[in-house]
Amino acid sequence: MKKIITFLVLAVMLMIPVLLVGQSENNIVVYAGSQSWIELEPLEIDRTRLRSAATIEDDFADDTVLVVLTRQASRDFRVLTPCDFPEFAFSSVEELTPGFELAETQMEERSMSRMRSHSGDMVIEYEPEWSVDLDEFRRILSLRLEEPSKENVLEAISLLEGRADVFSAEPDMFDTIPLMATPTSWPQIPLDQWNLHSIIMYGTLGTTRGSRDIVVGVLDTGIDAHHPDLAGRVNLGLSRCFTGQGFPITDDPRINTNPITGEVRLGHGTQVASVISANGIGMMGMADVTLASLRVIRSDGNGVVSAQINAINFATQRRMQILNMSVGGTNNDSARLQAIRNFPGLVIASAGNTGGNNDSNGHFPSNHRLPNLISVGASDEDNRRVVTQSWGSNFGRTTVDVFAPGIRIKSAIPRGGHDFVGGTSLAAPHVAGLAALMLSEYPALRASQIRDIMIENVRTNVQPCIANFSVARGIINANTTLHTVHTRHNGHRIATPIRTAAEFNGMLRDRPSGRFRLYANINLSGFAQWTPIPVFNGTLDGNGHTISGMNISRVGTNLASDINLGLFAILNGNVRDLWINSSRVYVGGNHSGNGWIRAGILAGTTGINSVIHNVGILSGNQVSIHRDNSVAGGLVGESRGYIRHSTVIGMRLYGNGDIGGIAGVVWGGMIYWSRFGGQAHIWYFRANNNRSIGGIVGHLSNGRVLANEAYNFTIYRANSNGSPNIGTVVGRRTGGTVATNNEFANVSHAYWGGLFNNQRRWNHNFRTMVGSGGNG
């Protein structure tokens, strides 16, 4: 009986593709070429398929077929080969899908969550900061023909369209860039960057000028990275060429021939890039952000759609938040649409320069109505749609989202010069730059949120040709847009995620004023000797994770000046919700020079504006400073800021100078609601030097030590001679306030050889709370 049931189940499963094919034949939609397409049924069930309308006269590559799989088939993440497509002779199958690895990981996490849910376990689901929309996700493939010809491409498409797992099959169409209008007869207006005034850019300068953490990918002809106005803006490591052209990429020796950033076709990519992020030497760009050159246009001004899809895929893998696409035409490509749909970030697309109505005459990719795409038309100085004798900005009440300046725009050109040019290609980067500023202010914004906020805050004092022919009914307004982001999110920026030790080491050093959040435990044991992060002014949110394996060792060095040792040398910023274990700071041997050493596990010194909140120094940590001119603390060496709700447990402290369980010396600020103890030990070697040792603070010069707890720890010293200042909470107070602190039993004072007068009976200035200077 079981065998019969199994056979019936398999038979039904084998019939499903046949049923899907039969249904798809009744729901055919024509697309591609210059025609648009319409979805006749909801895509949730993928019964609607798209059928190509390409003809032999269309301009497309003769060796490639682009395939988009159905949603159901896209959930199978196995590697596909020509054997999976026996309908035609294909030599290779290339995965072009943006977000392929992300989607696979997200599907695994979703499956595991559902399994845990069904088992009765509590499941906490969260939305990753960089993720694809699984409900819209589809795989995109490039199938290469063994025998190239346009006839074979069309025949292969016809055969593939009969498969149940193929949503669409289409040629790899050629696309182009709209040429900039050359301003040969245009005078240079007195205010040569009128465009920034038009969008009220100068009102934003006190808000933000951008962040290098934000990356804008420019899908274009390349960028002259050596142009003075773009110096330091283009990240060569994130730049790629997807055109397949060899060396050199241009016959003009005057133009930079770097295969990654090389510039062709009248400087189109360089002009676009300068509007986004020129550094102010010769002109001012929208934002101080990082640019990535994603070259998709060949030296003849054309490029296949698959190059754009490859660039979008690469941008997804490298987490580029914004893509500027000042490219396009009448080709309505399903594969490119799906690539943009899969992209987790924001795409800015120029609306076109034919002067037409995009509502009736499609321009792509700008016409795709997606929540992560903004279509941009061009405006002039009089707040009108640009219309000239040679070109005009496209418009559309439902297909052009916003307008931005697009005529007589000062921009950089290859070889170091400037020009005044026009086109929707120049309007789009204004929007890309504004989006980058929004993300600099609040990096957690989703692409759809950026689009909505920008549309909500346009300038509406415009001419009817803009007000009546765009979704937003206006021109972008940088001032009100950024003000809305700032007030809506209270100006709180979301931190850059850190998941590895290499990221931790690199990011905090490169961006010492940044905001960071740990998303994994960090083990620093791979660094044989940890070099403290010099000065950190930013914010580190440990997010409840642990840093371990830090090792700092200095033996017999010349201390010509003071040094600070710890995870951070000097901490002027904020650290919260972080745990540290199995780490050590060691200074031994004979040291020359008069410099002082300030050392703690977290930091050597903290500034007056620093805040340490909920930081725990746990098991296996040790600070050992064998030098008279020294200050040692379990958490920090010298504190001038605020330490609250922090804990030092099971610590081993060795030293010759001022020693404290939390801080060696406090010069200001406050330590409160913090704890030291848990089988902790303090060893003091120089008993005759009359230094200060305390469970919370060694020497309090100024500031407040309030509501802390010191318990279950032992203070050892080399011998019974001398008069060190020893206290359960503070060893010595020469200023400041000590109040409402608690000390518990099992606090011992011993020397090598036994306890001093037994527990909780002190001599040599060792008192219940404060060793020297009183209890107040």
Give me the active site residues, please.
220, 268, 425
Q: 């296949």: which residue's tokens?
A: 304
DSSP bridge pairs for 592: 558
Cα distance between residue 632 and residue 620, in whole Å: 17
- Residue 81 has phi, psi (to 5 degrees) of -130, 170
DSSP bridge pairs for 599: 565, 632
- Give the CA distances from residue 207 to residues 283, 481, 692, in Å, rounded to whole numbers and listed in that order: 20, 11, 47
E strands of 475-550, at which residues?
496-498, 515-518, 522-523, 533-536, 539-541, 546-548
What DSSP string describes 9-65? HHHHHHHHHHHHHHHHHTSEEEEBTTB-----S-GGGT--EEEE---TTS-EEEEEE
Q: Are 677 and 650 in contact (CB under 8 A)?
A: no
Q: 């318990």: which residue's tokens?
A: 711
What are 764's two structure tokens?
């040599």
Residue 8 CB burial class (10 angstroms; 0-12, 13-18, ≥19): exposed
Residues in the chain: 776
- Residue 515 has phi, psi (to 5 degrees) of -120, 125
DSSP bridge pairs for 60: 173
Cα distance between residue 621 and residue 615, in whole Å: 14
Give ∠ CA 554-559-563 in degrees, rounded to 5: 70
Q: Are 499 and 519 in contact (CB under 8 A)?
A: yes
Count Cβ neighbours within 10 Å for each residue of 475-511 and write b for 16 or more, e otherwise.
bbbbbbbbbbbbeeeeeebebbbbeebebbbebbeeb
Q: Which amino acid is at 262?
A: G
Radius of gyration, alpha carbons of the chain: 33
What are 325's two structure tokens?
């696409």
Cα distance between residue 256 and residue 166, in whole Å: 42
Q: For residue 248, is the peptide bond before it cis, meaning its omega torsion is within 30 degrees of 0? A: yes
